[in-house]
Amino acid sequence: NEQIKAKNATIQTFVIPHSHMDVGWVYTVQESMHAYAANVYNSVTEELSKDKGRRFISVEQEFFRLWWDHVASDWHKKQLRQLVKEGRLEFVIGGQVMHDEAVTDLNDDILQMTEGHGFLYQTFGVRPRFSWHVDPFGASATTPVLFALAGFDAHVVSRIDYDLKDAMQKNKNLQFVWSGSPSLKQQQIFTHVMDQFSYCPPLLHH
């Protein structure tokens, strides 16, 4: 009976439209801006303005800042400020990029995040509440410490070992409180691991 109830239970699905534009992957930053990045923020601002029920999260500040400083019209800026105020456009992580977890220097990680957060606070008076690392490969023990110290409320991660993720999914352990260091137990963060479909719906994987 319990198994039947579980099978018939209602499942809540959350679809989160978000930016995902790698900085320097395949194309230069300038090429990416001209090819698609500028159009993303133009269309997001326009489409969110048409429907109060629409939401979007912005991840990479490198492209957003270039769009804001060099592409966005006065109308786009006015609309986007209102969208941020209403909470319908939200910034997550807030760094210039989702930094690599393996080879980057800690000072560089902090610098690029500080620059992004400073821009957001000066421009919109907001700070990102959530960290978002859905594309960097692996997960460093430094991450929960750094992001907890940065003041994030929670963390989202995706690219971890496939077998580990499969086991976590089967055992319903995709959410946990992550503590990176026994000596820094205060610096821990609630973490959600995306399922095997990662950051794309199943249809986009075919």
How confident is residue 2, by pLDDT bands cut at 50, 70 and 90?
A: low
Which pLDDT score, from 0 to 100, does residue 33 have?
84
The pLDDT tens digits of the residues spanning 152-180 come to: 999 999 988 889 999 999 999 999 999 98
Q: Are residues 78 and 95 in the same domain?
A: yes
Same domain for 120 and 163, yes or no, is no
Domain shared by 42 and 123, yes or no: yes
Residues 118 and 188 placed together within one structural domain of the fold? no
Task: State which of 128, 149, 167 marks the end of a domain.
Answer: 128
Residue 24's pLDDT band (cuts 50, 70, 90)? confident
Residue-wise pLDDT tens digits, 79-133: 999 999 999 999 999 999 999 888 888 999 999 999 999 999 999 999 999 999 9
Check residue 202 and give its pLDDT. 52
Position 199 scores a pLDDT of 64
203 and 168 in one domain?
yes
pLDDT at 185 exceeding the cut of 80: no
The CATH number assigned to the domain holding 117 equals 3.20.110.10
Same domain, residue pair 156 and 197: yes
Cite the active site residues.
135
Same domain? For 30 and 81 the reply is yes
Examine the domain organization and report whether 41 and 64 are in the same domain: yes
Assigned token pair, 41: 């923020």
Residue the block writes with tokens 């421009």: 123
Query: Among candidates 14, 95, 12, which has minimal Cα distance to 55?
Result: 14
Overall domain count for the chain: 2
Residue range of the domain that includes 200: 136-206
Domain end, chosen from 128, 148, 176, is at 128
Residue with tokens 């300038």: 30
**Taking a C-beta distance cutoff of 8 angstroms, is the pair 140, 98 a contact?**
no
Residue 50 resides in a domain: yes
Residue 120's pLDDT is what?
97
Is 195 inside any structural domain? Answer: yes
Would residue 167 count as lying in a domain?
Answer: yes
Asked if residue 81 belongs to a domain, the reply is yes
SS3 string, the chain, reads: CHHHHHHHCCCCCCCCCECCCCCCCCCCHHHHHHHHHHHHHHHHHHHHHHCCCCCEEECCHHHHHHHHHHCCCHHHHHHHHHHHHHCCEEECCCCCCCCCCCCCCHHHHHHHHHHHHHHHHHHHCCCCCEEEECCCCCCCCHHHHHHHHCCCCEEEECCCCHHHHHHHHHCCCCEEEEECCHHHCCCEEEEEECCCCCCCCHHHHC
* pLDDT class of 205 with cuts at 50, 70, 90: very low
Cα atoms in the 13 Å half-sphere on the side-chain side of 188: 11
The answer on pLDDT for 204 being more than 50 is no
Q: Is residue 32 part of a domain?
A: yes
Tell me which of 74, 107, 128 is where a domain ends.
128
